[in-house]
A and B are shown apart, each in its own frame.
Chain A
Amino acid sequence: MAIKQLTVFVLNQKGSVVSVTDILSKNNINLRALSIAETQDFGILRLIVNDEATAEKVLAEQGYLIKIIDVVGLKIGDAPGKLSEALGVLDKENINVEYLYAFMARTEKHAYVVLRVEDNAVAEAALTSAGFKMITEADICKL
């Protein structure tokens, strides 16, 4: 059920993010979500896109270090406390969240959360049984 995250290594210097987004835009790839983790030296871009296979191909051609990994895509109601509720479920189950980022849908009254955990299936099962909905690759394309 997991969704694909495109992970790109960049140096922490001026212009390095725009170089990535430029390549994606020229290849007609749409970003659904973007998060950056940075250190003094480098940054790691985490992207949810509509076509990760093409994105990987065109970035790799330009010499970028890329990894596609599976992450949990969680759909939550756009209301106060919803994220907390979901994280509470994971906490109770002793599931550690490595990192997360959230994005909103254009039309629906929902927010989406991308969760990086050790074991996607375990996290998904815990959230599903607590009544949460997951999103899939197909959902991402429709967004």
Chain B
Amino acid sequence: MAQNYYQKEIETMAPEDMKKLQSEKLVKQVKHVYENVAYYRDLMDKKGVKPEDIHGVEDLHKLPFLTKADLRDAYPYGLLAKPLEDCVRIQSTSGTTGRRVVAFYTQKDIDLWEDCCARAIVAVGGTKKDVCQVAYGYGLFTGGPGLNGGSHKVGCLTLPLSSGNTERQIQFMNDLGATILCCTPSYAAYIGETLKEQGYKPEDIPLKAGIFGAEPWTEEMRRGIEETLGIKAYDIYGLTETSGPGVAFECSEQTGMHVNEDHFYAEIIDPDTGEVLPEGSKGELVFTSLDKEAFPLLRYRTRDICVLSRKKCSCGRTLVKMAKPMGRTDDMLIIRGVNVFPSQIETVLLKEGYQPNYQIVVDRVKNNDTFDVHVEMTAEQFTDKVSDVLKMEKALAAALKTMLGINPAVHLVAPKTIVRSEGKAVRVIDKRKLV
């Protein structure tokens, strides 16, 4: 496959030049953060490190980490490094205990983020002649806005369908000849199954490639999607805390994702000791934003377990590659592309007058995530009317939806019926086979 690059000089830069570029950016970025973010300045002072101590990426390990808990504590403006009047956008994701994570963007931040997404689109063969259907959710979720912006930058005709309404997705895909599909892998599989049921053969479908991310998926699932849609399916990685999708993207080789390391410096650390691990080691992925102005997180712990590799890639890109995340160091679940923490469910239960005795059951049926929450009700809550119990289930589902952004099926059960092993209740049963 002939290779195209969106920003060739960066994407194929010699590693030593890249390191130099990263080091220059890091020195400036640390100074910017130290001067403008009191929260991080305190962390640095506590660790006894000053901006002058950072001469390049080799000094990065001296800096303190940031975690999701810091984002929660600093909500909403505590990590903002620019005056609000210089910001043009927020994106948001749910936090660990209900407090949201809100990330701010200046126009430059948006531009760089969209460049990252444009690199991903070009890497899968996208050009201005392509029709790019964006079926990620639009809004606070970064998926839709990110790929939408990238598609514009490449010059594709962009179909901003957002997620859902599969009939309409299929209609636009066929009528306007979409060639690139961007959505979650489970939704891509679902669209594929629907097309198949309607009698479409892979060769009838105009698509040639897909960019699928925001949730874990397997190689087996990739093959399934490629077969039903008659396309090449590519992975993409990102998180709201650093920008959104496009932090890393897959190329024609399909053996991991190139990190846009001119903007995001990647480290692998030992999740227990925090020590930086050598290339090829499995550990927790940590990102440092080298260019972001408004919300520049330094050494942000993603909680994703991952491996980095600098092995030469057949696509010609020299950007370091990250493997598909192999798990998490916390209890976060990704359900229908949305981050869900058990602690969030606990928060809602307590607020709604329930005891925090619950069990989450996640499965994947026909490529769709099912999300069931079993909750023990108290003797006081129980009534003899079926309609009352159903009403309570509905109200609780609505409260959970408000917190999480996705709809659970709530099942009220009798007290002490949720299985406890060794006295400790099993909070999460994930039946999906994703790793």
Contact = CB atoms under 8 A, between A and B. Distances in A.
Interface of A: 5, 7, 9-11, 37-39, 41-42, 44, 46, 63-67, 69, 98-99, 116
Contact of A9 (B390, B414, B416): B414
29 contacts: A5-B384, A9-B377, A9-B389, A9-B414, A10-B414, A11-B413, A11-B417, A37-B386, A38-B386, A41-B411, A41-B412, A42-B389, A42-B411, A44-B385, A44-B389, A46-B384, A63-B414, A63-B415, A63-B416, A64-B414, A65-B377, A65-B382, A65-B415, A66-B379, A66-B382, A69-B384, A98-B385, A99-B385, A116-B385
B421 interface: no
Interface string B387-417: 0011000000000000000000001111111
Q: Interface SS of chain B: helix, strand, loop or mixed? A: loop
B379 A67 contact: yes
B370 to A, nearest CB: 14
A93 to B, nearest CB: 21
B85 to A, nearest CB: 52
B383 interface: yes
A122 B142 CA distance: 59
B416 A67 contact: no
A34 B389 CA distance: 20
Q: Interface SS of chain A: helix, strand, loop or mixed? A: strand
B22 to A, nearest CB: 55
Interface in B298-341: none
Given A11-B413, A65-B414, A65-B415, A116 B382 contact: no
B360 to A, nearest CB: 16
B386 A44 contact: yes
A44 B384 contact: yes
Contacts of A42: 389, 411-413
B376 to A, nearest CB: 9
Given A39-B390, A42-B389, A67 B414 contact: no
Contacts of A69: 384
Nearest to B381: A65
Contacts of B390: 39
A116 B384 contact: yes
A73 B58 CA distance: 83
Nearest to A37: B386
Of B384, B385, B389, chain A has the most CB atoms within 10 Å of the CB of: B384
Nearest to A98: B385
Contacts of A11: 413-414, 417
A7 B386 contact: no
B382 A67 contact: yes
B386 to A, nearest CB: 5
A67 B385 CA distance: 11
B1 to A, nearest CB: 51
A114 to B, nearest CB: 11
A74 to B, nearest CB: 18
Contacts of B386: 37-39, 44
Given A9-B389, A65-B382, 16 more contacts: A5-B384, A7-B383, A9-B382, A11-B414, A38-B386, A39-B390, A41-B412, A42-B411, A42-B413, A44-B386, A46-B384, A65-B415, A67-B379, A67-B383, A67-B384, A69-B384
A63 B413 CA distance: 11
